[in-house]
């Protein structure tokens, strides 16, 4: 369905909760990472200024989700906690749109830097590919951080 989700990213509404969670579970499945994403999504839904959400949706189907926010104690550094695209949606179709929207919103609030920390795990391969295709560069890694063979990687995108 190329072009079907050609819609501007927006903050989720109350009525989006089920569709957003469906995306999270279909993209992340039963992995060690899903609980934290659901927790931060709930914070964003409650209006936590440090945990914000954007979605791309059409006709009740959510194609992409980004969770992001400012990092306390820094000078205009923002974090992108997660960026996921539905498994059956082409990353090239909506991926750049969701990442660009996060970058634009951070920049509009004085952001100078967007960082992401994530597991270098095959379960997050699409998310990692999405970030790398949209200007994030690896800054460092901690081997065996999550478990043997799964590193924590640090990614950066200057705004």
- Beta strands (DSSP E) in the chain are 52-58, 61-70, 77-85, 113-119, 137-147, 150-158
Which pTM was predicted?
A: 0.93
Q: Measured in Å, how far apart are the chain's first and last C-alpha atoms?
A: 31
pLDDT of residue 7: 74
Integer Cα distance of 124 and 127 in angstroms: 5
Average pLDDT, the chain: 93
Domain ranges of the chain: 14-116
Average pLDDT of span 89-114? 94
Which helix H or strand E contains 99, and what residues bound it? helix 91-108
**Site of tokens 């560069």:** 137
Integer Cα distance of 85 and 133 in angstroms: 13
Each residue of 35-71: b (16+ CB within 10 Å) or e?
Answer: eebeebbebbbeeeeebbbbbbbeeeebbbbbbbbbe
Integer Cα distance of 87 and 91 in angstroms: 9
pLDDT in tens, 126-140: 999 999 999 999 999
Q: Is residue 38 scored above 60 in pLDDT?
A: yes
pLDDT tier, 4 (very low <50, low <70, confident <90, very high otherwise): low
At the topology level, CATH places domain 14-116 in Aminopeptidase (3.40.630)
pLDDT in tens, 62-78: 999 999 999 999 999 99
**What percent of the chain is modeled with pLDDT above 90?**
86
Q: Is residue 2 scored above 70 in pLDDT?
A: no
């Amino acid at each position: 369905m190329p072009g079907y989700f050609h819609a501007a990213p927006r903050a989720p509404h109350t009525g989006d909760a089920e569709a957003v969670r469906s995306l999270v579970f279909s993209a992340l499945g039963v992995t060690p990472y899903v609980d934290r994403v659901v927790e931060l999504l709930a914070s964003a839904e409650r209006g936590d200024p440090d945990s914000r959400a954007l979605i791309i949706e059409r006709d009740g189907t959510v194609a992409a989700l980004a969770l992001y926010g400012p990092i306390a104690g820094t000078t205009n550094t923002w974090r992108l906690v997660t960026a996921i695209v539905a498994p059956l949606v082409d990353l090239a179709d909506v991926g750049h749109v969701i990442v660009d929207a996060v970058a634009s919103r951070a920049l509009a609030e004085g952001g100078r830097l967007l960082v992401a920390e994530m597991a270098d795990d095959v379960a997050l391969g699409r998310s990692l590919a999405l970030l790398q295709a949209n200007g994030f560069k690896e800054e460092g890694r901690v081997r065996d951080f999550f478990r043997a063979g799964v590193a924590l990687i640090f990614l950066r995108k200057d705004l």
